[in-house]
Structure 1
Amino acid sequence: MKKVMFFVLILSVLVSIAFAGLKEEVESSIKKNLIQQGAKAPKVDVKILEQLKGTNIFFLEVKATGENIQKPIKAFLLSDGRYLYQNVIELSTGLNMIEVLKSKYNIVKFSKKDLEDFTLIEGNKGAKNTIVMITDFECPFCKKAHFLLKELLKDKKDYAFYIFNFPLKKIHKKSELFAKILIAGARLGYDFRDELYNFKDKSLSDEKILEIFSQKTKEPKKFKEIALSRETSNQIEKNISKGEELGVRGTPVIIVNGKRVDGFNPVLVRKYINEI
């Protein structure tokens, strides 16, 4: 079954349309392109969410399904009535407007149960502000995001910071082990984020790495038991499933009071942290 790659559509199609009937024309153009990409019986729905202030550019939500589209497509795009754009940068702020508007219309809401499945690493449950970082401790961009957040949050109060483990196991061989170490450390009152992001000797065996971190605690035996427990493995699997449900494709993803930032985007992260 031919896989339909939606990003090909975004990169390759210039849609010539008039402002009148914008929704219908975009739907028709995307549908035609999906068919060209091999989609069978595609259905496309476009919602015009808002117009960028002082421009003729509109922010659109696009949803598409089809007989051989394995997962429903959901994407946010910009159009000026003639072209579809991947992004538009606001010169005065450097902000990617698609990312800003996505976070406005694509608010992430976590239940209390969701938060219980994450790892509270800073602050207290029930704080006014909630920050969730979806991370892989071998991801270099997650490392950059971590140290940026650490700097931005040093003078902030009344927030709860959760780690949402999303180890990319196929490309980062120690990522799941590092997630287990983070969880075990947190349960005993330790924050090993700095050490995990900076860990260099990944050629060591899992047992040796676990031993190194266990010796940083006052209860090495209990630390190992927690790290290797079925409960910890289940927690990580729940995190991965939740990430897939949210459409996470990579790390980091930072969610500040429901506003989602995909990838390492220091301008947007700084903006949302400064709003706390």
Structure 2
Amino acid sequence: EPSDQDIQKVYEENKSQVGGQTLEQVKPRIVQYLKGQKQEERRTAFIEELKKKYPTTVSLKPPVVNVAAAGRPERGGKNASVTIIEFSDYQCPFCKRAEDVVEKVMSTYGDKVRLVYRNYPLPFHPQARPASEAAACANAQGKFWEYHSKLFHGDGLEAEKLKTYADQVGLDRKKFDECLEKKPFTAEIDKDVKDGEKAGVTGTPAFFINGRMLSGAQPFEKFKEVIDDELVSSKKSS
């Protein structure tokens, strides 16, 4: 079981992202996250140990899910052989932690990787959907990634903060405020959630690397393992 100290640490690091919820309210999700991380670490270490003892070649292909980019915001190489589709929630503390790993992936691989962001606001995160709406409004003005960064690394997701971030990234405030009020991207966000559910997403964050699913806030090494494998596969098939 995760220690109280570790649970408290995760809570304090992500306090601004939990919408005023107390430690007791979010504790079950933090425990689940920490357990998942520990299991993944053990599994990875065990597999590495086996590989050293018994060199093997794995010929089975991992399961692949067909997930569309659906014209959502993207960055990286337009013609990259590896596409990462991320389903995320701006109020999810684990999504915030995963953002640092995503940044490392993008800086490490550059144009070899294309990242697509799709929304998956969880129903028990009241600030997640308004934040997704705001990000879509920023995207309409060509400033999605700048605004996206503010949502994850700013100091809250309250309505006034959403407008403050708009000023900080240089959006036309009149257009932005009108967009927030009219909510023209509701159907788009609903489609993201529906497509995520079809693909097997049950929580956030969830990533599909050329259709191979990585669930949760995984370490960089896990992304590297799948991306490197996909890059090798693409070279073989070209």
**Residue type of the alignment partner of 1:107:** V
Query: More helix by proportion, 1 or 2?
Result: 2
Q: 1 CA distance for matches of 2:112 and 2:140?
A: 21
Q: Which residue number in structure 2 is paired with residue 195 of structure 1?
A: 150
Q: Does 1:269 align with 2:223?
A: yes
Q: Which residue number in structure 1 is paired with residue 132 of structure 2?
A: 179
Aligned positions, number: 176
Could you give the per-residue CA deviations for residues 128-178 of structure 1, whole angstroms, max 9, x where no partner exists?
3211111011111111211111012214214321111000132x1110111
Q: Structure 2: which 5+ residue stretches go unaligned?
A: 1-41, 51-57, 232-238
Q: Which residue number in structure 2 is paired with residue 209 of structure 1?
A: 161
Q: What SS class does the counterpart of residue 154 from structure 1 fall into? A: helix
Q: Does 1:162 align with 2:119?
A: no
Percent of aligned pairs sharing the same letter: 23
Q: 1:158 to 1:269 in 2, by over 3 A?
A: closer
Query: More strand by proportion, 1 or 2?
Result: 1
- TM-score, with length taken from structure 1: 0.56
**Residue type of the alignment partner of 2:138:** G
Q: Is contact 1:121-1:161 (8 Å) kept?
A: yes
Q: Which moved more, 1:257-266 or 1:185-194?
A: 185-194
Q: 1:274 to 1:189 in 2, by over 3 A?
A: farther
Q: 1:234 to 1:150 in 2, by over 3 A?
A: same
Q: Which residue number in structure 1 is paired with residue 46 of structure 2?
A: 91
- TM-score, with length taken from structure 2: 0.64
Could you give the per-residue CA deviations for residues 182-222 of structure 1, whole angstroms, max 9, x where no partner exists?
222223222123211123234x4x2x133212213242222
Q: 2 CA distance for matches of 1:91 and 1:124?
A: 34
Q: 1:220 to 1:262 in 2, by over 3 A?
A: same
Q: Which residue number in structure 1 is paired with residue 66 of structure 2?
A: 109
Q: RMSD in angstroms over aligned alpha carbons?
A: 2.8
Q: 1:197 to 1:210 in 2, by over 3 A?
A: closer
- Greater relative CO (CA pairs within 8 A, separation 6+): 2
Greater radius of gyration (CA): 1
Q: 1 CA distance for matches of 2:43 and 2:200?
A: 23
